[in-house]
């Protein structure tokens, strides 16, 4: 209970949940469990006639967890949400992945200190700079 009152990075706080209940309408949910909302009216909007949009993250709040189609909707690039008008995917496009930097799933190349390996020896084409 205390975590939901004081921490925003582990999900929505009680204040945010109250605001969503009072001011927002659920528009959709993505494959990662994030929920997307739009304001009921433009009374608290920065631009009159343009409804505010926001995301409630599932778990840890990390902006890279928002897929490109929902990102476009959040920033008013697309008028219709992906639930009504999904983006057309090209055959060469990969699935969206969140940023794993700083987590145990981060990419660690061969020779990385965090991987416990040693760096490869220089091949002879590198000469260290020495001040004169």
Point out the least confidently predicted range of 8-12, 29-33, 73-77, 99-103.
8-12
Residue 118 tokens read as: 């040693």
- Does residue 47 or residue 131 have the better pLDDT? 131
- Does residue 124 or residue 26 have the better pLDDT? 26
Non-local CB neighbours of 77 within 8 Å, separated by 6+ positions? 71
Q: What is residue 75's predicted lDDT score, i.e. its pLDDT?
A: 93
d(CA 101, CA 105): 8
Contact between 111 and 119 under an 8 Å Cβ cutoff? The reply is yes
d(CA 116, CA 70): 38
Q: 29 in helix, strand or coil? A: strand
Residue 12 tokens read as: 């929505």
Residue that has been written with the tokens 């990390």 in this structure: 62
Euclidean distance between the first and the last CA atom of the chain, given in angstroms as a whole number: 63
H helix runs in the chain, sequence order: 2-6, 14-23, 68-74
pLDDT in tens, 37-81: 998 887 777 777 788 889 988 887 888 889 888 999 999 998 899
Q: What is residue 125's predicted lDDT score, i.e. its pLDDT?
A: 73
Find, among 128, 130, 129, 110, the residue nearest to 120 by Cα. Answer: 110
Residue 1 tokens read as: 């209970």
Q: What is residue 104's predicted lDDT score, i.e. its pLDDT?
A: 84
């Amino acid at each position: 209970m205390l975590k939901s009152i004081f921490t925003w990075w582990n999900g929505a706080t009680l204040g945010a949940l109250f605001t969503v209940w009072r001011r927002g309408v659920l528009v959709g949910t993505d494959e990662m469990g994030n929920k997307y909302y739009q304001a009921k009216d433009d009374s608290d909007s920065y631009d009159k006639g343009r409804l505010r949009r926001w995301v409630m993250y599932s778990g840890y709040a990390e902006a890279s967890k928002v897929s490109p189609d929902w990102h476009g909707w959040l920033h008013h690039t697309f008028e219709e949400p992906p639930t009504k008008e999904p983006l057309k995917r090209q055959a060469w496009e990969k699935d969206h992945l969140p940023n794993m930097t700083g987590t145990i799933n981060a990419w660690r190349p061969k020779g990385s200190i965090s991987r416990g390996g040693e760096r490869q020896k220089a091949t002879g084409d590198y000469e260290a700079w020495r001040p004169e």
